[in-house]
Structure 1
Amino acid sequence: MPEYTALAVLSVILVVLLECQVLRTGVFRTKQYWCAMAIVAFFQALVDGWLTKLSAPIVMYDPQQHLGVRFPWDIPVEDYLFGFSMVTLAILLWVRSGRT
């Protein structure tokens, strides 16, 4: 498995385990969390699509380091995994700190 893909999958696994085994905030059961994630995914697709478009890329990836699956607009699918992990971890820590 390519390195970027492996790290993206590992980041999701670690964040989900952190929530389910340690923090236990319950955010995965809330509509607010999933609504926030939908908003993040929408804007991530717009921005990431512009940054990674194959016709004129601003950000380029080593083809050997990811699966090569791009959806939509030439976005490597691994970017969505890292986005999920980053935003979810931030939300989890925010909720855990009592700032909800």
Structure 2
Amino acid sequence: MPEYTALTVVAVLAVVALELWGLRTGIFRTRRYWISMVIVLGFQIPVDGYLTRLADPIVLYDARQTLGIRFPWDIPIEDFGFGWAMVTLTILLWRRCTDGPSRRAAAGRAVPGRPSNAGAAAHREDAR
């Protein structure tokens, strides 16, 4: 398997595993997350398409390191997996950092400046 393809698969699997068995933020079940991914894709396609266009590329790929499948506008398909893993990992870590105090408060431990039901309120907001 080409190197960029293999690393993309590893990145996607690692992020999924981190969420499902480590951080457990629940983002994969939220509409907000999937809408965010559509927005990211909406910007990724034109920008990545411009950068990787075969007619006049700004970013070059070694053809031996990818599957050679480019869609749309000459975008290597590996870019979509890599981009998804990068953005999703950022969201996961952000959620982990910002939800930490709320979860502690919900567990009954006092957090200065937070009401004791902050974790439940944050969870209800994400479910919308």
Which residue in the other structure is 1:40 paired with? 40
Describe the superposition over 1:3-23 as per-residue Cα deviations: whole angstroms up to 9, x where unpaired: 000000100000000000000
Structure 2 length-normalised TM: 0.76
Are 1:59 and 2:59 counterparts? yes
Which residue in the other structure is 1:4 paired with? 4
Describe the superposition over 1:19-61 as per-residue Cα deviations: whole angstroms up to 9, x where unpaired: 0000000000000000000100110001000000001101110
The CA distance in 1 between the partners of 2:3 and 2:70, in whole Å, is 16
Letter in 2 for 1:29: R
Percent identity over the alignment is 61
Structure 1 length-normalised TM: 0.97
User: How far has the Cα of 1:98 moved from its partner?
Assistant: 1.7
In structure 1, stretches of 5+ residues that fail to align are none
The CA distance in 1 between the partners of 2:65 and 2:94, in whole Å, is 32
Structure number, greater radius of gyration: 2
SS in 1 for 2:98: coil
The CA distance in 1 between the partners of 2:65 and 2:42, in whole Å, is 25
User: What is the RMSD computed on CA atoms of the aligned residues?
Assistant: 1.0
Which residue in the other structure is 1:94 paired with? 94
Q: Which runs of 4+ in 1 moved over 6 A?
A: none
Whose relative contact order is higher, 1 or 2, with alpha carbons under 8 Å and at least 6 apart?
Answer: 1
